[in-house]
Amino acid sequence: MDFQSISNRAFEHAPAGENGDKDLKDIAFSAYKIYVESCFPNLVGYWPVIAGTHYKLGIFDKYYVVVLIDQGPTSFIQTLGIGNIKLNLNEIDRTNPHMIRKELFSLLNLKKRDAIFLFDKTNNYSNWRTDLERDLKENFLQHKMVMNMEPMKIFLSHKSINKDKVRNFKTILELLGFSPWLDEEAMSAGANLERSLQSGMTDSCAAIFFITPDYKDEKYLASEIDYAISRKRQDEKFSIITLVFSDENGEKGVVPNLLQPYVWKEPTNDLIALAEILKALPLEVGDIRFK
């Protein structure tokens, strides 16, 4: 179902107030339920905020803020006004919905099962459908991760001679909750290599290319690049992360032609490389908690 149809249906289903106006909080909830039903009709009764929610409503600068607090299965609904919200953001980030969402999650102590919608009040909410589509996608992806339905695998593309270096990154990423795909461990004996590579890429949320002077765009490495680009075309959130390393003589790896349209980084050490990976991944590391 396209987002235009979803917004139209949501507007029709949302209740009207005494003056005939409809609140965007009701439209947002209705739209999200329609969206989830169209994708996973059998899971609506278990889906975050859809099964039961409370609302927190406020204002931040030019945005009407609608927060949905997941309550689990319940028919009781509570709405709380939180007034004008103060966030510690600079002038640029104050107009960035992604940064506003991130700060709101922290300020309001929200959980990953909650949801946020931001509606620009400019020109009497003239862009509410665009805002709705953006946040439907954001909340849906977040909740898919909560429901363990979003791939947490990360494809590690490298030359065999660099495998020890890549194993170190694999170990750290595993400690952070990801499932790195390393060919020697992910493929069973007798598996078709091309099919295994393609399957590994399909099941991943990102591909990291470790470009050393040994890395050459040939044979199976060429296939990995092709599969990553194809995956990116299918899913815009899929990340292609290219890291260029130098050897002990100062010689740098050469970025293959097909990867050159994408941004690459040249970290001076493995710690900086790890930081670049975490910044570029489409998924965030989870909340800090006791083991």
Interaxial angle between packed helices 163-175 and 270-280, expressed in degrees from 0 to 180 and rounded to the nearest 10: 50
Nearest Cα to 79, choosing from 88, 71, 91? 71
Question: Mean pLDDT across the chain, nearest whole number?
Answer: 88
Say how far apart CA 175 and CA 147 lie, in whole Å.
20
DSSP-derived secondary structure letter, 261? T
Average pLDDT value for residue range 249-255: 92
Amino acid at residue number 60: F
Could you give phi then psi for residue 184, rounded to 5 degrees? -65, -25
Could you give phi then psi for residue 22, rounded to 5 degrees? -115, 135
Q: What is the pLDDT of residue 178?
A: 86
Contacts of 10 (CB under 8 A, 6+ apart): 27, 28, 30, 31, 34, 132
Could you give phi then psi for residue 277, rounded to 5 degrees? -65, -50
Per-residue pLDDT tens for 100-149? 999 999 999 999 999 999 999 999 999 999 999 999 999 998 898 888 77
Nearest Cα to 65, choosing from 37, 123, 107? 107
Say how far apart CA 234 and CA 147 lie, in whole Å.
22
**Cβ atoms within 10 A of the Cβ of 71, count?**
18
pLDDT band at 186 (very low <50, low <70, confident <90, very high): very low
Q: What is the pLDDT of residue 220?
A: 72
Say how far apart CA 140 and CA 35 lie, in whole Å.
9
- 128 CB-side CA count, 13 A: 21
Per-residue pLDDT tens for 57-95? 999 999 999 999 999 887 788 999 999 999 999 999 999
Q: What is the pLDDT of residue 190?
A: 42
Say how far apart CA 128 and CA 9 lie, in whole Å.
14
Tokens 């292609």 identify what position? 240
Contacts of 230 (CB under 8 A, 6+ apart): 201
Low-confidence winner among 22-31, 85-94, 116-125, 186-195 (lowest mean pLDDT): 186-195
Amino acid at residue number 92: I
Q: What is the pLDDT of residue 20?
A: 81
Q: Which two tokens stand for residue 8?
A: 């139209």
Q: What is the pLDDT of residue 282?
A: 85
- Answer whether residue 36 shows pLDDT above 50: yes
Average pLDDT value for residue range 238-255: 93
Q: What is the pLDDT of residue 95?
A: 92
Per-residue pLDDT tens for 199-235? 888 888 899 999 999 887 666 788 889 999 999 998 8
pLDDT cut 90: percent of the chain above it: 64
Q: Which residue has better confidence, 97 or 198?
A: 97
Q: Which two tokens stand for residue 200?
A: 């590994």
Q: What is the pLDDT of residue 156?
A: 94
Q: What is the pLDDT of residue 151?
A: 62
Q: What is the pLDDT of residue 187?
A: 42
Number of H helices, E strands in the chain: 10, 9
pLDDT band at 253 (very low <50, low <70, confident <90, very high): very high
pLDDT band at 2 (very low <50, low <70, confident <90, very high): confident
Q: What is the pLDDT of residue 286?
A: 60
